[in-house]
Chain A
Amino acid sequence: GESVGLHLPTLSVQEGDNSIINCAYSNSASDYFIWYKQESGKGPQFIIDIRSNMDKRQGQRVTVLLNKTVKHLSLQIAATQPGDSAVYFCAENKNGGSQGNLIFGKGTKLSVKP
């Protein structure tokens, strides 16, 4: 099976609240992790990435946290907006380096209530 999985298949939040989407991985050799957002009928869109030598990385309204001890990845979205409604996928570069390729989790559907 996939080495990347998600704890919750769906997440519903109120507009303006913060969202946290979680992801577990099992391959300690993975050296790169990435979050994608997929809106209905569209291809996955890059949100933010992080390398294994970092614990935290921030973007615009998004933060990715990496806990290598427990092999856990999370995406935090601040002040969630209706436009954030989508399916979010985490992915890992399973074998690391130039020989790896991205392996995706099954996704979490985020619904934002106005």
Chain B
Amino acid sequence: DSGVTQTPKHLITATGQRVTLRCSPRSGDLSVYWYQQSLDQGLQFLIQYYNGEERAKGNILERFSAQQFPDLHSELNLSSLELGDSALYFCASSVVGGGYGYTFGSGTRLTVV
């Protein structure tokens, strides 16, 4: 157990729907990062939050949004889902912001049908 908790582990939904993925960082970590991993692809950085504020954006679609709450957990909202959004979505956390060693959760596998 890495200490980073992601729920749900699996999610199957239809095209056009909206889903919310949840992440609880390791105790004491202030920064949360979201990554998307498609089949045969590497980890694509989506967005980073640090202590409740957006810190950096990567290749995140406009249909996707995220937020970090006062208790530091984060949610990634995916709307108007398309078949191509099927992927593993990982959350990672770190004590400080910046690109230093992250601890990853076990991911949410999203399947859009």
Which residue numbers of A lie inside 8 Å of B, CB to CB?
2, 32, 34, 36, 42-46, 49, 89, 91-107
Contact A102 to B42, CB < 8 A, known contacts A43-B104, A44-B104: no
Among listed B14-22, B69-77, B79-87, B92-100, interface-contacting one: B92-100
The answer on a CB contact under 8 Å between B42 and A32 is: no
Q: Is the CB of A100 within 8 A of B99?
A: yes
A99 to B31, CA, bound (A): 12
Asked if A34 and B101 sit within 8 Å, CB to CB, the answer is yes
Interface centre among A32, A45, A94, A104 (most CB of B within 10 A): A104
Q: B42–A101 contact, CB under 8 A?
A: no
| Residue B24 at the chain A interface, CB threshold 8 Å | no
Name B's A-contacting residues (CB within 8 A): 2, 4, 33, 35, 41-45, 48, 55-56, 58, 90, 92, 96-107
29 A-B residue pairs with CB within 8 Å: A2-B42, A36-B104, A42-B107, A43-B4, A43-B106, A43-B107, A44-B92, A44-B104, A46-B102, A46-B103, A49-B100, A89-B42, A91-B43, A91-B99, A94-B99, A96-B99, A97-B98, A98-B97, A99-B56, A99-B97, A100-B99, A101-B48, A101-B58, A101-B98, A102-B99, A103-B45, A103-B99, A104-B44, A106-B41
